[in-house]
Amino acid sequence: MKQILLVFLGGGLGSVLRYLISKPLNLYFTNFYLGTFIVNIIGCLLIGLLLGLSLKNNFLSENQTLLLATGFCGGFTTFSTFALENNSLLKNGDLIAFASYTIVSLVLGIIAVSLGLWFSKIF
């Protein structure tokens, strides 16, 4: 039960922070959804760093990993919103924005996780 509460707490905090960051940015950048993009890339970097540090030197306990990686990063990042926004771009016929948003998000997301893992080796 404690583990479920840790994921719940972390996910709630991550979701609120995502909303506070992405909502205002998405209002001004409707063709690229900059807010969602930023939180997803930051979340990728953060989960790579957290898990890399944890693997390297037991930086996080199992409960801390559940709170921060599973809960917070899981609530902070959002694949479903990313997919919905891409659907909107397709419906509007904006194929260039769709392609660039999808490709840049996926490529930079993977790079961010890799950078997080790499940074964890330095610490």
Annotated binding site for Na(+): 74, 77
> Which amino acid is it at 42?
I
Binding residues: 74, 77
DSSP letters for 16-74:
HHHHHHHHHHHHH-TTTTHHHHHHHHHHHHHHHHHHHHHHHH--S-HHHHIIIIIIIIH
